[in-house]
């Protein structure tokens, strides 16, 4: 299994990095770092979005992913940021530093052996974290 990190979104404003010229957000609080896996979209993870009150249409996602963590890991809240910090297979090293956003808290079921959380790939600039 790989190592994943779940952090809260930053609460402070972005700061200009004068070396790169990019705005950088300070890191959010780490909720969990430990065993986990990010899996690409499959039929079971296709979840229909329902618009929130005041939104004229359903939010559409560009890419569906699932985060799998042990049941002992904390439940990631909506909008938490998930990054892969270590991979067990060197051929998947390109996953290190990619980030995803939690769409909802972990999915509940009566037959849980792992916690599954719906993710959407972070499409914003700077979504690859160190």
Confidence of residue 130 (pLDDT cuts 50, 70, 90): very low
Confirm whether 14 is domain-assigned.
Answer: no
pTM of the model: 0.73
- 107, part of any domain: yes
Convert the pLDDT of each residue in 103-117 to its tens digit: 888 776 667 788 888
In a domain, 127, yes or no: no
**Per-residue pLDDT tens digits for 53-69:** 555 555 555 567 889 99
Number of domains in the chain: 1
Structural domain contains residue 100: yes
Strands 99-102 and 115-121: antiparallel
Beta bridge partner(s), residue 22: 17
Residue 57 inside a domain? The answer is no
Which range of residues forms the domain containing residue 74? 2-9+23-41+62-121
Phi and psi torsions of 97, nearest 5°:
90, -15
């Amino acid at each position: 299994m790989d190592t994943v990190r779940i952090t809260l979104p930053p609460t402070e404003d972005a700061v200009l990095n004068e070396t790169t010229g990019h705005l950088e957000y300070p890191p959010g609080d780490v909720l969990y770092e430990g065993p986990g896996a990010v899996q690409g979209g499959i039929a079971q993870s296709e979840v229909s979005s329902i618009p929130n009150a005041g939104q004229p249409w359903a939010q559409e996602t560009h890419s569906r992913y699932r985060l799998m963590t042990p049941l002992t890991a904390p439940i990631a809240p909506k909008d938490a940021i998930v990054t892969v910090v270590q991979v067990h297979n060197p051929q998947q090293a390109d996953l290190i530093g990619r980030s995803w956003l939690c769409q909802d808290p972990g999915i509940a079921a009566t037959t849980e052996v792992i916690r599954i959380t719906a993710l959407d790939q972070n499409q914003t600039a700077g979504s690859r974290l160190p």
